[in-house]
Each structure stands twice: as structure tokens, then as C-alpha cells.
Structure 1
Amino acid sequence: MSATTARRVLISAGEASGENYGAMLIPELRKLLGTETQFFGVGGEKMRAAGCETIIDSGKVAAVGITEVMKHVATIYREFFRMVSVARSRKPDVAVLIDFPDFNLRLAEKLHTMGVPVVYFVSPQLWAWKQRRIWRVKKFVDRMLVIFPFEESYYRERRVDAEYVGHPLADLPLPQIAREEFARRFGIEGGKKWIALLPGSRKKEILLNLPVMLQAAGELGPEYEYLVPVASTLSRDWMAQQTGGARVHLVDDPCAALLHSRAAVVASGTATVEAALIGTPFIVVYRVSGLSYAIGRRLVKVKNFGMVNLIAGREIVPELIQSNFRPENVVRQIRRLLVEGDPRAEMVRNLEGVRKELRNAADARGKTAIVRAAEAIGRTLLNSQPVKQKAT
């Protein structure tokens, strides 16, 4: 695919996982649309390194929970309308909105009024909660690119142009760094068992999840080494402050940390899929404000929170959510996974089943999820019709 003039692509990714996918998409889109293609939008360091001009740093708009969003609403709205203003002046040829639905579904509406074709990559979990938002997708999104097999039929049954492209994480090889080298790089004692603590990628998530993880680590004691990956959207210095002098190691590669750890405590989100694909036994934890949980729980339509359990169709990984997320519960659950025995062996088998499902789906398509997504974006750019002409 070539163009006589440089294409302009708006990419909006407000969280660490989405920003990672955005950074992976940019070089593939350049191959299709031309090396002069211009990228701008919402993102972080990885997207900047890939050549995207980040009009808004994702750290300024990322929030978690209903009440947490309310506390930052002025900043979020100011940055939102700044992005809308830039989009209106630059007139992108296509917009790629990655997850982050509270921000991106509203951005889709504004882009729709400008006549910009909108591709949504990584579906909002409408099948789980806030299902009423489907009208926004039907009206303002040209194409929905989903990463889980069951999502394609969900959207098509609701007359949304959806395509399953596969999960980007399923295409990635395991980290190549040896455990010994990883230990040397971060000053970790290699003779001990390691436990990875993944509290999330947003500051509010860290503030709510990390303290309980650190308390649990304190109860488990010094016979283990504790690894805390720092998300690309967060400052290492800020993360160091949050550990409060606890005996943990801040590392920069969550996948390597998971691969070389005996077990992990993982905040609900994309990291649970990473842990499943790597095969490390883990528990899912999460906490938001009490009011956010009370409101949100009434809107959730599924039994489990962890994506790995949703993929499996049953609880194969323990979930400690909200009031159940206490240090003593973390210690009790993680100890079952640190030693050889039935609980650990059963979880390893179940995670292998999830891993095979995701990877087999990817292999059947012959191309990586990112390549398929880039091709779908390219087709949308060339063949798009105004959204208002689509059936509703």
C-alpha cells in the first residue's frame, strides 16, 4: 500500500498494555502506509520511541475506578478536549483507539463528527459490564478488532463490524534472558525462590494494590526474593517511593520476572494473560475505592474478574478482590503454589489449556495479531464510508 501524500494516523492508548500494542502497531502501519506516515495521539514512552508524537502523555489521563475518575475529571476533560482540538486541526486519515473505553469511546464520537474513520483495537469488555455502551460502538466505530475468540460473535450478533485478529501477547516469544543474568542485573539472590508482585500500571492501582502485596511479602519473610516490575507508564523513582524501603527489587521486564518466578501475585488486567501465557502459577488480586466497587459490582454481568478465568470459563486461578484482598489471604493462597503438590500442578495444567487456546487461535491465522490488525486498519482507511451511512 502506498500513498502520494503522507498519511496521518491518530493513535490513542491510555494504559500500559494498550501503549505497548500501539508501539507494536506503528512499524507495521508504516510498512503498509509508507515510511512518511505521521503518528500522533495519546501514549507514553514506548509509543514515542516508535515514532509517535504524544500530544497527551497517557499518565495524565489514566485513572482507575469510578470515584477515582471523578477526582481527576478536570484534568482528564482538559486533556480530552486538547486531543479533540488537535485532531480537528490535523484531520487524521484514520484513528486507532486502543482499549481505554471511558476516554476512547467519547473520542470516537468526536472523531465521527469530523468524518474520521475509527478503528477500535482491543475491545471494551462490554460483554462483562456497562453493556449499554454498545450503542456508542455501533454508531461511532467503523471496525472493532477483538483479541479474544468469543468477542467476534458477540459484536457481530449486535451488528458491529468486528474481526478477531488474535491476542498480541500470544505471538510473543518467551523472554530470552537467563535467570542468572536477570539476577545479576537487578541484584537478586539467585539461590532463593522468587515471587513476582505485579500491582498494575496506573498510579491509583499501585496505591491501592501494592501496600497489601508488600505486607504479604513481609509475612512470607526473607526466604524469598520479591520482584516488582515497573510499568512503562510509571516513573521508577516514584515506584521506589511507594515501596517504602521494603525488601523488593524493582525490575523493568514483567515477562522475564514472571518467567523466572516460582509464583506471582498479579493485579487483574492484561498482566494476568501474560502470566497465563508464560505459565507461572499466580493469584489475581484487585482493589478500587469502596464506592467504585459498590457501584461497579452492580453493573458487572460476569462471575469472575480475572481475564484468564473468563477465557477458561471457570475459576482456575484464585481471585482476591476488594475486601478479600488481605495480606493473610495472599499468603495462604501463594503458599499453596510455592511448593510441589496438587494445587500447583493443577494450576499449571489449567494455564497450559488457556495458553494452547490463545496460541492455537493465533497459529491458525498464519500472521501475528499485530500484522492482522495493521492490515485491517489499512483496509478501513482505503475503503471507509462515513460512519453515519452504516446500519444502526
Structure 2
Amino acid sequence: MTQKPFTLFFSAGESSGDQHAANMFLELKTHRPDIKGIGMGSAKMAQAGIDIRFDSSGIAVIGVVEVIKHYREIRRALTAMQQLLLAERPDLLVCVDYKEFNFKLARFAKQNGIKVLFYVSPQVWAWRPGRVKKYGAAIDMMAVIFPFEVPYYEAEKVPVRYVGHPSVDKAHPQHSKEEDLRLFGLAKATPIVGILPGSRKNEIERMLPVMLAAAQQLQTEFPGIHFLLPQADSIPDNLLADQLRAIPLTISVIKQKPYDAIQCCDAIMTTSGTASLEIALLGIPMVIAYRLSPLTYWLGRLLVKIPYIGLPNIILGKPAIKELIQHEANAERLAEEITKILKDKPYRESMRQDLHRVKQQLGEGGGSKNMALLALEMLGG
């Protein structure tokens, strides 16, 4: 008697979640080639073979103001996903990040008898720890990507599994550093500084002008300096070109090879988020800079209970990496910190040692495989 293929319903609202879901599904297919995947996501999930019923690229926003602006589209997406869940009755709903939206979708699924696996915990350790109980009531399993998150759920008797951080498997260059220097036409003798302004449109608009202004100051301090800008897949060419055209700098925009570009750098200016963690895993000294809308920042100051925003600092529990937030995220402070990294060898080496500790704490990886096995365990197959 042939077994009915399992159907998994994925819900991912941002580019990182799209990638995580795609990797998980590809791993699932190696164990159960007949498994079906449907749901909300974008290009990476579609390439992996998931049937995309709602394209999430139009609702990949962050921050209170941005969510309010896109509220109608987000609400329409949630209604569509709820209706699809009832129509398809999948064997398992896999919510990938995109916390508030997926919490509502998970609660709806649970109320309608559909099992829920939530991948990437909301940051309960940073703000609103009371949400642990609420999530516990809406899900069947929480898959966390940081080992320190497990006790928060265990304390409330919510099923939890540490699966490893996806970036541990992902953040690997395709070539050696020497090969990349040749490939990108770079000289070892001159400083190479990375510019990572984010993967969302509003991040680029806020942070790229500041980073470019800092780069101009650094060019005066270090004649011959070269800048690398790894372009996120989610960012269209014209968004960068409009800003780069007016700046008299030597900047190489690198596509499709972010980790190769990162490993070539002596120092990096980056926004917070996953990028800072991937830079840490590659051991490159950095400064973290971020600006939010004033309202989002004000609300964050009221709600956030931890002193850092950079993932490397959160993992280490200390300010190993300089963080420049809001008004401090200006060209002068950015240039000053990059200059210190480039000129002060003991400071630079101390930072590298801290970054190595980040890598040690995150362990061996295998996140996608662990997620696939966890899903199969929940399916009973």
C-alpha cells in the first residue's frame, strides 16, 4: 500500500526566511522525495520546489512605521494564508521567522487542528518574555537557533529544540582569499573595507549615504583604500547605482559572492542583524551601525531589555563590537572606528579573538538537516 505524501505548508515573509525554508525543504526531499511543499515565500523557496501561493516580497518590511504603511497588504496576506490552510489541511505548518504575522497564522492553524513547527524564535530574551507562554499555546514545537534560547521555553514547559544557526553552514566563501583578491582585482598592500548597508530598501536608504560619507573620510586618511559592497539579492541595481554614481570613490559592487567579498576585507561597516553574525563567523573586525524611524527606535528603547543590538555582542554578553545607533551612526564615528581597527593592531586582534568565541558558541551547524529531521519526527515519518 503506497503511503500518502506529506504536505508541508511554509510561511516565510522575509528574504532570510525564504532561504531557510528553501534549505529545509531541499533537505526534506533527500529523506522523503515525495514530500509536497506549498505556502508563502519568494524566489528561493520556488527554486527549491515549493509551490508559492503568495509572493512575500511585497511585505518584507521591518519597523513599526513600515509595518503600518504596509498593513493592508500584510492583512491581505494573512487572510489568504488562513483560507489556504483550511482549503489544503496540510500535515504540518512551518512558520519561518516573520514573528507577529506567523504568530497569528500559527494560532489560527492550532485552533483548526493543524500541527505547527515554529522556526527561529522571537527574541524573548530581548523584550516581552511573557510571549513565551503565548507562543507555547499557538505551536507544537519551537525550533531555536541560539543555544541560550532553550531555557526560556523549558522554564514554561514549551516544547523546544536547538537546531543550530543556519549561518554556520551558510557563511563559507567559494574560493580562497588569494583567489578572491585576484578575482576582484584587489591589492594586498592597500586597506580593503567592506560596506554592508542591509538587505532591505529602507535600510539602504537610511544607511548607505552615511556609510558612503564615512568612506569618503577614510579615503582621505588612507590613500589607495578600496571598498567592497556585497549586493544583497533582494536589492535592485538602481537602488545602489543612484547613490554610488555621485560619490568619487573606488567601490567594487560584488554580486552572488557575499562571503568571498567579506573574507577579503580588513574591516567592515555593517548594519545589525544576520550580516553581523556572518561577518563574525568569518572573523572579520567590524563596526555595527543602525538607524530606525524615530517612532520605532523610541518604542524599542521602552521595550528592549538587553544592552546590545548586534548578535555577536548578544551572544558574548559584552560589547566586543562597537555599536553606533541612531544619531551616533554618523560618518565621523564610523570612520573613526574603522580607522582604529585598521591602525590599532592589539585592538584588532582582541576583536578577532572575540569573534572566534562567537563561532565556538554556535557549534557545528547542520541547521537545515536538523530542521528536516525534526519536521519528519513531528509527522511521524
TM-score, normalising length: structure 2: 0.92
For residues 182 and 254 of structure 2, what CA distance do their matches in structure 1 show?
12
The equivalent residue for 2:253 is 250
For residues 320 and 136 of structure 1, what CA distance do their matches in structure 2 show?
33
For residues 54 and 223 of structure 1, what CA distance do their matches in structure 2 show?
47
| Greater relative contact order structure (CA < 8 Å, 6+ sep) | 1
The equivalent residue for 2:11 is 12
* Contact 1:198/1:266, CA 8 A, preserved across alignment: yes
Amino acid at match of 2:134: R
Shift of 1:185: 5.3
Shift of 1:183: 5.1
* Contact 1:48/1:54, CA 8 A, preserved across alignment: yes
Name which of structure 1's ranges 119-128 and 251-260 shifts more when overlaid on structure 2.
Answer: 251-260
Shift of 1:186: 5.3
For residues 45 and 344 of structure 2, what CA distance do their matches in structure 1 show?
41
**1:217 lines up with 2:215 in the alignment:** yes
In structure 1, the residue corresponding to 2:73 is in which secondary structure?
A: helix
In structure 1, the residue corresponding to 2:117 is in which secondary structure?
A: strand
* Contact 1:44/1:232, CA 8 A, preserved across alignment: no
**1:140 lines up with 2:143 in the alignment:** no
* Contact 1:145/1:165, CA 8 A, preserved across alignment: yes
Shift of 1:328: 0.4
For residues 184 and 89 of structure 1, what CA distance do their matches in structure 2 show?
54
Shift of 1:306: 0.7
For residues 2 and 294 of structure 2, what CA distance do their matches in structure 1 show?
52
Name which of structure 1's ranges 264-273 and 132-141 shifts more when overlaid on structure 2.
Answer: 132-141
In structure 2, the residue corresponding to 1:20 is in which secondary structure?
A: helix
* Contact 1:109/1:136, CA 8 A, preserved across alignment: no
In structure 2, the residue corresponding to 1:136 is in which secondary structure?
A: helix
In structure 2, the residue corresponding to 1:128 is in which secondary structure?
A: coil
The equivalent residue for 1:73 is 71
Shift of 1:173: 6.5
For residues 5 and 88 of structure 1, what CA distance do their matches in structure 2 show?
19
Query: Which of residues 269, 274, 281 in structure 2 aligns to 1:270?
Result: 274
**1:26 lines up with 2:25 in the alignment:** yes
The equivalent residue for 1:386 is none
Amino acid at match of 1:53: D
For residues 320 and 113 of structure 1, what CA distance do their matches in structure 2 show?
43
Shift of 1:190: 6.3
* Contact 2:15/2:60, CA 8 A, preserved across alignment: no
For residues 26 and 309 of structure 1, what CA distance do their matches in structure 2 show?
31
For residues 260 and 288 of structure 2, what CA distance do their matches in structure 1 show?
18
The equivalent residue for 2:95 is 97
Shift of 1:242: 4.5
* Contact 2:171/2:282, CA 8 A, preserved across alignment: no
In structure 1, the residue corresponding to 2:90 is in which secondary structure?
A: coil
In structure 1, the residue corresponding to 2:34 is in which secondary structure?
A: coil
For residues 6 and 131 of structure 1, what CA distance do their matches in structure 2 show?
38
Deviations 1:87-135 (CA, angstroms, capped at 9, x unpaired): 2222221111111112211111222223221111111111101334323
The equivalent residue for 1:279 is 283
1:25-64 equivalences under 5 Å are 25-32=24-31, 34-64=32-62
* Contact 2:193/2:268, CA 8 A, preserved across alignment: yes
The equivalent residue for 1:310 is 314
Shift of 1:149: 1.0
Structure 2 segments unaligned to the other structure (5+ residues): none
Name which of structure 1's ranges 194-203 and 221-230 shifts more when overlaid on structure 2.
Answer: 221-230
Go from structure 1 to structure 2 and tell me whether the alpha carbon gap of 1:151 and 1:251 turns closer, same or farther (over 3 Å shift): same
The equivalent residue for 1:357 is 361
Amino acid at match of 1:258: I
Identity of aligned residues (%): 35
For residues 102 and 273 of structure 1, what CA distance do their matches in structure 2 show?
23
* Contact 1:59/1:234, CA 8 A, preserved across alignment: no
Matched residue pairs, number? 375
Amino acid at match of 2:164: G
Amino acid at match of 1:67: V
**1:112 lines up with 2:116 in the alignment:** no
The equivalent residue for 1:343 is 347
In structure 2, the residue corresponding to 1:131 is in which secondary structure?
A: coil
The equivalent residue for 1:166 is 164
* Contact 2:133/2:158, CA 8 A, preserved across alignment: no
* Contact 2:12/2:41, CA 8 A, preserved across alignment: yes
For residues 262 and 10 of structure 2, what CA distance do their matches in structure 1 show?
29
* Contact 1:175/1:255, CA 8 A, preserved across alignment: yes
